[in-house]
């Protein structure tokens, strides 16, 4: 019979990552270029020394965030890939190959909540620093920029009055069951049928019948709200548990289609806003507005994202310049000389209006500025890549903080992708040069 191995014997069977990976791989080169000490200093500022389990290494956390948004992975898929991929483990600071996760998947959620937008923006700052040190972007590329806005949609179902009302009934009845509040009647069966019939009657253009079923739903929601309010009256603990959901349910019951002002479009994400960007395929999008800044020039390493910020309240595009440009200058350390925007930025609030050029502008336009104005549209494919390849198409993070964090992480993940290609092409050029010099001269 084989004898069980102790811990010292287990160490002998562990495989060093240096022995099984290609040290000339672009991900290995990128790991060598990132200033992990700088990230550790910023990330460790949110950790408190005290009792309990020590926090994860900051390089592991930063590496996981970069890999997640660079390769468009969910938290679960990232954990699966990390165990399988030795390059992922090396990038996150591991020395030997690990066959199990050194962290729990929920650790990613807790670290995002702990760091917040301000600390996570360090990843975007470091991506630009690496690009500058590697020669992929120059200082002049940071001085002339193009600004545009897009919509980061939230992971919610398309909101309709019937769906929201039915969902409010379901959530109130479920919470009452969990808290031990016995209702006179739940209306779950009849509410489900009414919600289905609203959709069927609307599809058949039988709007009078659809309105009748919607009124039935709202009446039942009102009965559930009043029943719960009577049962929890005088109980502060239950008041705290039911209060937020009851407020949302009352707003859902009373809001109308043509009503002005903020509305509820999702019960689990009440911060969602309805934004119309004038697109034929998507007249309305539900999420929040995001400002994206890229160079108006053509950097050697590709089109990088210089700044990304989620803006709540659906502000007019021109009102976003004043808060965005100072943050950009603080992030890059370079003063902006020229700002290019589309016609949505007319009437902007930036103090130095002579630095801003709007599409279609004729006055003060020189030949060099006209060339830059023709490159303003280069921001559009960047926005497309951010959405389709780096998790900004549909945001699954919770709350307004989740909106802001996801926008910054998507920009950082996007920036590290062209850096991988840059290091791969640089390595290929060095190998070609080495081989040409090592070959014997035919003469």
pLDDT at 418 over 90: yes
Give pairs for 279-282: CB < 8 Å, separation 24+: none
pLDDT band at 279 (very low <50, low <70, confident <90, very high): confident
pLDDT band at 442 (very low <50, low <70, confident <90, very high): low
Taking CA atoms, 440 is separated from 16, 428, 435, 437, in Å, by 37, 20, 10, 8
84-140 pLDDT, tens per residue? 999 999 999 999 999 999 999 999 999 999 999 999 999 999 999 999 999 999 999
230-240 pLDDT, tens per residue? 999 999 999 99
Q: Are 198 and 214 in contact (CB under 8 A)?
A: yes
Poorest-pLDDT segment among 58-62, 121-125, 421-425: 421-425
Query: Rounded to the nearest 10 degrees, what angle do helices 106-134 and 36-43 cross at?
Result: 140
282-330 pLDDT, tens per residue? 899 999 999 999 999 999 999 999 999 999 999 999 999 999 999 999 9
- Residue 291, Cα to own-chain centre: how many angstroms? 12
Q: What is the pTM of this model?
A: 0.89
What is the model's pLDDT at position 438? 65
Q: Are 293 and 274 in contact (CB under 8 A)?
A: no
pLDDT band at 52 (very low <50, low <70, confident <90, very high): confident
pLDDT at 12 over 80: no
Give, in degrees to the nearest 5, the angle at Cα 425 between 420 and 426: 95
* CA dist., res. 134 & res. 419, Å (int): 9
Q: Are 151 and 283 in contact (CB under 8 A)?
A: no
Residue 10 structure tokens? 């287990």
* CA dist., res. 99 & res. 102, Å (int): 9
* CA dist., res. 272 & res. 157, Å (int): 11
CB atoms within 10 A of CB 389: 17
DSSP collapsed to 3 states, the chain: CCCCCCHHHHHHHCCEHHHHCCCCCHHHHHHHHCCHHHHHHHHHHHCCCCCCCCCCCHHHHHHHHHHHHHCCCCHHHHHHHHHHCHHHHHHCCCCECCCCCCCCCHHHHHHHHHHHHHHHHHHHHHHHHHHHHHCCCCHHHHHEEEEEEEEEEECCCCCCHHHHHHHHHHHHHHHHHHHCCCCCCCCHHHHHHHHHHHHHHHHCCCHHHHHHHHHHHHHHHHHHHHHHHHHHCCCHHHHHHHHHHHHHHHHHHHCCCCCCCCCCCCCCCCCCEEECCCCCCCCCEEEEEEEEEEECCCCCCCCCCCEEEEECCCCCHHHHHHHHHHHHHHHHCCCCCEEEECHHHCCCCCCCHHHEEECCCCCCCCHHHHHHHHCHHHHHHHHHHHHHHCCCCEECCCHHHHHHHHHHHHHHHHHHHHHHHHHHHHHHHHHHHHHHHHCCCCC
Query: Rounded to the nearest 10 degrees, what angle do helices 106-134 and 26-33 cross at?
Result: 90
Taking CA atoms, 101 is separated from 52, 88, 97, 180, 253, in Å, by 20, 12, 11, 39, 46
Sign, CA dihedral 400-403-406-407, equals negative
Structure-model confidence comparison of residues 37 and 8, the more confident one: 37
| pLDDT, mean of residues 253-277 | 91
pLDDT at 210 over 80: yes
What is the model's pLDDT at position 364? 83
What is the model's pLDDT at position 441? 53
Q: What percent of the chain has pLDDT over 70?
A: 93
Structure-model confidence comparison of residues 55 and 181, the more confident one: 181
| pLDDT, mean of residues 32-53 | 85
């Amino acid at each position: 019979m084989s004898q069980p191995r102790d811990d010292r014997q287990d160490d002998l069977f562990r495989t060093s990552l240096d022995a099984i990976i290609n040290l000339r791989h672009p991900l290995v080169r990128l790991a060598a270029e990132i200033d992990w000490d700088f990230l550790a200093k910023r990330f460790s500022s949110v950790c408190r020394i005290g009792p309990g389990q020590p926090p994860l290494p900051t390089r592991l956390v930063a590496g996981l965030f970069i890999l997640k948004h660079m390769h468009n992975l969910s938290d679960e898929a990232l954990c699966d890939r990390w165990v399988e991929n030795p390059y992922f483990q090396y990038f996150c600071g591991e020395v030997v190959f690990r066959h199990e996760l050194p962290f729990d998947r929920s650790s990613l959620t807790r670290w995002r909540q702990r760091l917040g937008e301000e600390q996570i923006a360090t990843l975007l700052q470091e991506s630009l620093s690496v690009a500058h040190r590697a020669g992929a972007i120059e200082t002049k590329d940071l001085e002339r920029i193009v600004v545009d806005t897009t919509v980061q949609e939230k992971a919610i179902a398309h909101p309709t009055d019937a769906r929201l009302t039915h969902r409010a009934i379901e959530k109130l009845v479920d919470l009452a069951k969990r808290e031990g509040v016995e209702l006179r009647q739940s209306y779950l069966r009849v509410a489900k049928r009414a919600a289905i019939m609203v959709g069927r009657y609307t599809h058949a253009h039988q709007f009078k019948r659809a309105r009748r079923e919607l009124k039935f739903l709202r009446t039942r929601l009102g009965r559930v709200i009043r029943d719960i309010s009577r049962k929890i009256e005088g109980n502060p603990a239950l008041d705290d548990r039911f209060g937020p959901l009851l407020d949302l349910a009352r707003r859902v019951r009373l809001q109308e289609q043509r009503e002005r002002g903020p509305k509820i479009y999702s019960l689990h994400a009440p911060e969602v806003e309805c934004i119309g960007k004038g697109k034929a395929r998507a007249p309305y999008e539900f999420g929040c507005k995001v400002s994206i800044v890229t160079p108006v020039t053509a950097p050697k390493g590709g089109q990088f994202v210089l700044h990304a910020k989620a803006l709540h309240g659906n502000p007019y595009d021109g009102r976003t310049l004043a808060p965005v440009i100072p943050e950009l200058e603080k992030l890059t350390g370079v003063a902006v000389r020229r700002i290019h925007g589309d016609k949505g930025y007319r009437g902007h609030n930036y103090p130095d209006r002579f630095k801003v050029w709007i599409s279609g502008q004729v006055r003060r336009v020189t030949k060099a500025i006209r060339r830059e104005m023709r490159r303003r549209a280069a921001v559009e494919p960047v926005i497309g890549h951010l959405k389709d390849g780096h998790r900004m198409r549909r945001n699954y993070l919770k709350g307004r903080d989740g909106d802001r964090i996801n926008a910054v992480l998507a920009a950082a993940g996007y920036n590290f992708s062209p850096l991988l290609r840059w290091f791969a092409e640089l390595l290929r050029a060095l190998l070609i040069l080495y081989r040409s010099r090592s070959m014997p001269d035919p003469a």
